[in-house]
Amino acid sequence: MEPNKAQPKSNFSWKLESSSSSFLTQQPPKPVRHSSDQTQQVKPRRTQSPIAMTRIETYEDFVKVHGLLLAASGLPQSLHRQLFQKLLSESFDGGSHFQIEPTEDGRQRRLVLTSDSMPEHSDVFLIDHAWTFRLSDAYKQLMEVPGLAERMAAIMCVDADLNSDSEEDRLSEGNAKRCVLEVLENEITEANGNVRWLELEDLDIDDETLSSLDLSTKCPGLFALSLCGNKLQNVEVVVQEVTKFKNLRALWLNNNPVVQNCGDELADKVLRELPNLEIYNSKFTSNYGEWALGFCGGVYDKENPGSVDQPDNKLKQVTDLDLSNRCIHNLFNKAFTPLQLPCLSYLNIRGNPLEETAVGDLLQLLRNFPSLQSLEVDIPGPLGESAVQILESLPNLSVLNGVNASKIFETEKDVVDSGLQPRLPEWTADEPLTDRVINAMWLYLMTYRLADEEKIDETSVLYVMDELGSALRHSDEPNFRVAPFLFMPEGTLASAVSFSILWPIQNVQKGYECTRDYLFGIGEDKQRSARLTAWFNTPENYFVREYEKHQRSLKSKNLTSLTLDSCPTRSLHRSETSALRVYTDIPQVEELLTRPEFVITTDLRDAEIIWTCTQVDEDMKKATGITDNQYINQFPFEACIVMKHHLAETIQKAHGSPEWLQPTYNLETHLSQLIGDYCVRKRDGLNNLWILKPWNMARTIDTTVTGNISAIIRLMETGPKICQKYIEHPALFQGRKFDIRYIVLVRSMNPLEIFISDTFWVRLANNQYSLDQHSLFEYETHFTVMNYRGTLNHKNTSEFVREFELEHRVNWLDIHSRVKKMIRSVFEAAAQVHPEMHSTTSRAMYGVDVMLDSSFQPKLLEVTYCPDCGRACKYDMEAIVGDKEVVRGRDFYNYVFGCLFLNETTHVSPL
């Protein structure tokens, strides 16, 4: 609550460049005082089966099998033998050296050294993995594995309210009023009947109780009144009671229903009736003056609330003034002057708009304070966008945002900050443990991916370290290092048991907090500072500005008319007596290409047409003897459309941000802009559900839907991804999601000759669509590709279209027209942005996946090279457009090749 607020801050400092960001710790971890009633000894817990030693028995064998893993871990060679011995004996001896303590009011834990000292590289410790899983299995495991949710909730500190009685249970309606009266009577007694500061917080005071207390009679001289956290609901009752105190300087009604439901109306009435009020609900009013500044400077508090006839020099001795987040619009005030505050050396004006004063005037005002040496302000913000420029304008400053001025000039960073507060999980009292854990786990998860000589796993393994490991907090200058390690007691991956290993990388003394670098090895070239947003409340202003600049850039894009050279394609078939030789490694083509104009050959060098699912690059051409005269079913540089991050970039360069492309960010290059977009949506109360997709993976592998910004950032660790605004309101078919696979044939990029096949098909999710948080883990609810996972329920296209038209009362031809226009725009963008795609000996077929939103507008999902056309070949389809003939599945490749190589237009439409 405001009158007694104590906001803990982290020990970290950060720096942020204008194009990226960089955080660093300014000082080493400080020793931590121990309190025996608030600590717990580390008790490692095992979840794996005991290690059965059947093969590795000597240190030499251990090194031979684990040499690469040891090198990758970074563990000093001097500790290798010690690690082997601890693995062999399953020695979890961390409890003899460390202690876990609660911090952040019990919402985090930290690890403290209890040994007298621990020199650098002197020991290594095993950390068990308390939970190991694939992301798709997380919710199910939490629900089904006995005790898992409870243990995870304890590790993640989201069970704090489960073992204590709620306030509503503690206070029945009958004794709530008696409790209020007791508090009020004690306050009056302590103040000898002259109460000027009254705090009646979290006492279940409702409107009737407030009226019955008759506070204006019992405490007529109030200067400050706090009614935070009660049950006040009626605007008229609240206004009637609080406006009786005409000398009131501060009023706190935070966390009452009346503020949440009628905030603006209540504020207007209160401020109109209380002209002397300077602080209202923790914000400064336009009438703020000496009292409000004195409150923030520690002059006025419960022990010294001030008086009507207070002297005018109360601010003379103030040295530190924290005005952060006070909603101050204008800093020019008769009380905020160098004359009134001659000793002011530290000033914090973060979180205030200050939009009523020009930057130059604000800088001039601050220059006039003779003792001001340390300033905290939003950057970018009311004083400008550059830390260096602010320091140049305020030459007396020695510290800006907690960082020494000399260091800022040395590094030339534009944005600097210190004291980042941790991003703590939020939950409601009735929220199940599983939901709390799912939300909080991104602050604790680590990841690895298994691989052998033949392949690498498609999805990563996620894990949470045990109580000891999870208590290690972040520092940019850590004193410990952690690395995952797979112990293979039988020398095979099948026998592997996962651990983490912990060792000191600095000399650590007793009582010091033990820390690790959450982003070890990740520098500013990989957006280190922006990625720290996963764990800390980094300044939103910076990211919002980056997002706004990105949006302005996109809006400036406008595809100009294509001025492409005339280079018409020609039919390859020039003789009725000889067929075109086709080499293919695709069984469907080999089986179903039956036209006499084409003949299959197994000799790649002899082929005139090469139709392959393998990428044909210069190296492959040299290795196989492919010549420039052979026709290939791919265009050079087609990655600009078939890789998801390049596709978005290509479209954005040409079209900016068209309606048919959801807001899309390449997380490897535009994380700051994505965070800014997320912050703006959160601020404006908009939907913030996003989908993360790997750059170049098919079948929705490693694809995740989430609304958690920490999850978005942490999932970067499982591989490069784009983050795209999720279509939260798609068009549904009988309550289920669907997308549509269109087949696009490209004869030429210059001039642009593209065709859309009459054959397309719908892909349906199996479950009813839902935005329930639990459903986000259900593949068959949010995804539609069931060829490889789930149960494939094919729907004939013509039947789908008829039933969809009836269900939604729409004309499919209108939708089809919009889809064709969109697809044309995609390939126009590629032709303009990447003219190097053009090749006279290229012909290609692409799959274009499209989803409709609830307004039946098309949204581009992706473009696929060499698409799986199994359904097109298996099912006959009544054409929806054109002459509406039945297109036989077995003829699919016949008309594809006819279009691309014989210049025919059977069962295709030009775009």
**pLDDT at position 729:** 95
**pLDDT at position 34:** 39
Position 489, amino acid: P
DSSP labels for 177-214?
Answer: HHHHHHHHHHHHHHTTT---EEE--SS---HHHHHHH-
**pLDDT at position 795:** 84
Q: Where does the pLDDT of residue 458 fall: very low under 50, low under 70, confident under 90, or very high at 90 and above?
A: low
3-state secondary structure of 689: coil
Q: Where does the pLDDT of residue 787 fall: very low under 50, low under 70, confident under 90, or very high at 90 and above?
A: low
Mean pLDDT computed over every residue of the chain: 87
Q: What percent of the chain has pLDDT over 90?
A: 70
Q: Is the pLDDT of residue 715 over 80?
A: yes
**pLDDT at position 873:** 92
C-alpha closest to that of 762 among 854, 849, 885: 849
Contact between 44 and 468 under an 8 Å Cβ cutoff? The reply is: yes
pLDDT tens per residue across span 3-22: 544 333 333 334 343 333 33
Position 230, amino acid: N
Contact between 332 and 306 under an 8 Å Cβ cutoff? The reply is: no
Q: Which two tokens stand for residue 94?
A: 């961390």
> Which letter, b or e, does each residue of 665-696 get, where b requires 16 or more Cβ atoms within 10 Å of its Cβ?
bbbeebbbbbbbbbbbbeeeeeebbbbbbbbe
> Is residue 678 within a helix (H) or strand (E), and if so which, with residue range?
helix 671-683
Alpha-carbon distances, residue 276 vs 57, 224, 270, 280 (angstroms): 81, 11, 11, 11
Interatomic CA distance for residues 325 and 378, integer angstroms: 11
> What is the CB neighbour count within 10 angstroms for residue 435?
17
Contact between 899 and 747 under an 8 Å Cβ cutoff? The reply is: yes
C-alpha closest to that of 412 among 12, 10, 13, 19: 19
Mean pLDDT of 184-205: 90
Please work out, in degrees rounded to the nearest 5, the angle formed at the alpha carbon of residue 230 by the alpha carbons of 227 and 234. Answer: 90
Q: Is the pLDDT of residue 463 over 90?
A: yes
Ramachandran angles phi, psi of 112, nearest 5°: -120, 140
pLDDT tens per residue across span 247-275: 999 999 999 999 989 989 999 999 999 99
Lowest mean pLDDT among 17-26, 218-227, 368-377, 836-845: 17-26
Q: Is the pLDDT of residue 137 over 80?
A: yes
Contact between 600 and 584 under an 8 Å Cβ cutoff? The reply is: yes
pTM score of the predicted model:
0.82
Four-residue CA torsion sign, 81, 87, 90, 94: positive
**pLDDT at position 790:** 58
For strands 508-509 and 129-133, give the pairing.
Answer: unpaired
Q: Is the pLDDT of residue 25 over 70?
A: no
Mean pLDDT of 504-528: 95
Distance linking the first and last C-alpha atoms of the chain: 63
C-alpha closest to that of 877 among 758, 738, 781: 758
Q: Which two tokens stand for residue 439?
A: 């939300």
pLDDT tens per residue across span 372-405: 999 999 988 999 989 999 999 999 999 999 889 9
pLDDT tens per residue across span 857-892: 999 999 999 999 988 999 998 888 767 788 999 999
